[in-house]
Structure 1
């Protein structure tokens, strides 16, 4: 016997509104009675942190030390995606399958939002004893006891062994009737990258980080040479009263709102502004080194324990710019004159394909900052031509750190235009409005006995029963999404190095 899941034309990664279709291929070497063949589309956001010792109250969280046991580790697993499809048999009655190869087709559509926030859907799983004979679905009791938020499905995420990961699967269970017969199971993982939220309209505004500075008065060293070619042992720094130290303000700017896109270059501008007038070319300032780093902060939560992991991606690393870039070509430029550093150093540097978009889900979140380190030099080394006097002007260097916080990384996968138009984000169409508070007549109508609603299909917007919920049940965007196909254009992404590698997370405690 062997089981294989074959996906139809799988892309590098799936996204929202994509159809995931394929076949379950079952190879039998002898006749077998099969009860059910169930295919599930699942997504999990799994976190684990170590409890601090009872007497250590200063530590709010603590990493799990290597080689430690799991007795002091708490875990939290959210079923952010869970859909079930019974592919065999159609009537629910088990049949005998003959030796040979058997194929069962399945088809899912990736939704927009997670499912674990929906209490009615999770509560409905409590009463499902199974689909057919002997097959049990997920028990929703654990999900009801966790804290949830409604959000877009997060991207696949690994890289934090035994602490955090987000994975997506296609799982198949083949039920075999009989007390001593085990069910057959198989699964295959896939990468997922969500569509980006609607982008705000473009404006001329810019977010910036700036830092003014003034060099110290320049020092000159004199080293006399003897007639025999040797140097004297004394050297004294002297201030040059004829030179006024340059005063400049450096700023890093990106368009506001601060949005950068996966696998695209940074829309960064570096601006130098003159704060004091200059009188000679000797007051020239040069850019000699530049480093641009994207910093990601992954916030991990398990119950009331919190931890933040810091990850860095080097976008630009130029420890020595040759030749140095002169910030002002003309020393007669007036005060407040600006000079924009040429973007040749970073305009072709795309974000690494391991950068995931910003996201927030129930127990994990990712945010970003941009850290820029600029090294400037006042003047360059210029030795004297006098053979008896080594007159060397020592250049001054200064390193300035600049930080752009609250940077959002978008996936670069635009949602379908039809969905944006339906939600009113483009054009004159208004977005759907939340229902108003019910009138007294409607409240009386609510109190009348009615047939129980299907928990997997809550009432839609605008109905009387929908007004009973604080969070409007899903949904206009979900309903529109069911009619749309997935986006076509998508960037390169490698957020999960091996989506089918074994999980590194500690097992959950029952």
Structure 2
């Protein structure tokens, strides 16, 4: 007997609150007696660190945290009377399909023991932080010793000659936290960005002409150069972002950059270079060992700009808005997972904006280029909103889809689930499930004999 899993949207990155629909396909080479079919959604992280504080040897520590475990009994059906006996199903030769629906929870629930060090650390953080935790993002090969994986486990229990057997199958799925930004925030104009980070810089101007004094009263042609200190231009660089300094994956950097003149200065101020860098940190804690891994990605890098910021005659207090074309069209890389914090693991980011300023005076004299860095923590959101639609009523039915994958072979489709729902149209699943929540008792699913006797296009009625 072979067991396989077929998802309605296998390439989709799911979010918390969504329902994962799919089918369990059982290939029976002969008659099989099935006593139970269970589908489970599992989310867990595996953290591995090497403690090098020992004198003679290194000590490798590993922790596994399970924060999602949702189960659904596909068969036997739940809506049966208490007096009726739940007899095992007998599946004949061929393919048999059972569909399931597993909902991704809204928040994680870690399985750490209450007296473990991780549990005490989380309790302390929860009292000091008001931010609600989100589901960890699926993460693999992004940081050494860190894996965050979600999977769907299928267990099929069979009975043969008085012995019980269990056949298991698993399929990995990607899950990211939902983007909680409101539409009004996403469409907010740059002038209204509330999160502001600023830094002040002092730019050295071009060297002044040296002053000369006679070194000897008897020889006026001989002179000594007296060094003088060049004046400095004072500026304030401010960067404005969306609330919580949020940046969205696969979208243009939402930022407003301004420069303010703080003191009178006789030379022009130019912007010579511009660079934007995203730095990612993975904080890992296993037992008493802690580690931070860092990675960086260059979003934009420009040089030799010669962009005029303030002319010499500009008044003090004037604000110059930096042209957003310097970073327009540049998006966050797709492999950057959203920010999250969970048991023993945190993924966080910082955005670094580096600008090279230069003062230029008369006759083309210029001072040294001063590199100014503005660095701020940012939150990366998934960009996946709850209003997206994964299922369309115009799609083909489940049975037709699975049959085509199996080469058009015979397929028996079972519509009963743990909630007693069974629909051929995937687009109607969520709608009918919501309708059922207001009813008292669903119609009982068909028996095996009734399901086998139905033709593919026939509807069952009781």
Q: Structure 2 vs 1, CA of residues 404 and 189 (structure 1 numbering), >3 Å: closer, same or farther?
A: same
2:275 alignment partner in structure 1:
291
1:270 alignment partner in structure 2:
257
Kindly state the Cα deviation for residue 331 of structure 1 after the two structures are TM-superposed: 2.4
2:107 alignment partner in structure 1:
113
| Aligned partners of 2:206 and 2:361 also within 8 Å | no
Distance in 1, matches of 2:362 and 2:33, equals 86
1:212 alignment partner in structure 2:
201
- CA deviations 1:153-202 (Å, max 9, x no partner) are 22212224651121111111222446987632211111112123466988
Q: Structure 2 vs 1, CA of residues 210 and 31 (structure 1 numbering), >3 Å: closer, same or farther?
A: same
Which of 335, 341, 351 lines up with 2:316 in the alignment?
Answer: 335
TM-score, normalisation: structure 2: 0.66
2:284 alignment partner in structure 1:
300
Q: Structure 2 vs 1, CA of residues 381 and 190 (structure 1 numbering), >3 Å: closer, same or farther?
A: farther
Distance in 1, matches of 2:327 and 2:114, equals 48
Kindly state the Cα deviation for residue 207 of structure 1 after the two structures are TM-superposed: 1.6
Secondary structure in 2 matching 1:344:
helix
Distance in 2, matches of 1:275 and 1:32, equals 83
Alignment of 1:384-423 (within 5 A): 393=365, 395-405=367-377, 407-414=378-385
Secondary structure in 2 matching 1:35:
strand
Kindly state the Cα deviation for residue 114 of structure 1 after the two structures are TM-superposed: 1.4
Distance in 2, matches of 1:176 and 1:269, equals 63
1:433 alignment partner in structure 2:
none
Which of 346, 350, 354 lines up with 2:331 in the alignment?
Answer: 350
Distance in 2, matches of 1:14 and 1:112, equals 12
1:310 alignment partner in structure 2:
294
| Aligned partners of 1:22 and 1:106 also within 8 Å | yes
Which of 216, 219, 234 lines up with 1:248 in the alignment?
Answer: 234
1:22 alignment partner in structure 2:
22
1:40 alignment partner in structure 2:
40
| Aligned partners of 2:208 and 2:230 also within 8 Å | no
Q: Structure 2 vs 1, CA of residues 244 and 274 (structure 1 numbering), >3 Å: closer, same or farther?
A: farther
Distance in 1, matches of 2:193 and 2:96, equals 60
Q: Structure 2 vs 1, CA of residues 17 and 197 (structure 1 numbering), >3 Å: closer, same or farther?
A: same
Q: Structure 2 vs 1, CA of residues 77 and 165 (structure 1 numbering), >3 Å: closer, same or farther?
A: same
Q: Structure 2 vs 1, CA of residues 380 and 104 (structure 1 numbering), >3 Å: closer, same or farther?
A: farther
Q: Structure 2 vs 1, CA of residues 180 and 143 (structure 1 numbering), >3 Å: closer, same or farther?
A: farther
Kindly state the Cα deviation for residue 13 of structure 1 after the two structures are TM-superposed: 0.9
1:258 alignment partner in structure 2:
245
Distance in 2, matches of 1:42 and 1:54, equals 36
Alignment of 1:20-169 (within 5 A): 20-55=20-55, 72-90=59-77, 93-116=87-110, 143=113, 146=116, 147-148=118-119, 151-160=133-142, 163-169=145-151
Distance in 2, matches of 1:143 and 1:176, equals 34
Q: Structure 2 vs 1, CA of residues 378 and 143 (structure 1 numbering), >3 Å: closer, same or farther?
A: same
| Aligned partners of 1:220 and 1:393 also within 8 Å | no
More strand by share: 2
Q: Considering only aligned residues, what root-mean-square deviation do their CA atoms show, in Å?
A: 3.5
Equivalenced residue count is: 350
Which of 189, 200, 224 lines up with 2:172 in the alignment?
Answer: 189
Secondary structure in 2 matching 1:327:
strand
Distance in 2, matches of 1:216 and 1:295, equals 32
Kindly state the Cα deviation for residue 11 of structure 1 after the two structures are TM-superposed: 5.3
2:412 alignment partner in structure 1:
none
| Aligned partners of 2:205 and 2:360 also within 8 Å | no
Secondary structure in 1 matching 2:15:
coil
1:364 alignment partner in structure 2:
345
Distance in 1, matches of 2:148 and 2:86, equals 33
Distance in 2, matches of 1:12 and 1:415, equals 14
| Aligned partners of 2:28 and 2:94 also within 8 Å | yes
- CA deviations 1:457-477 (Å, max 9, x no partner) are xxxxxxxxxxxxxxxxxxxxx
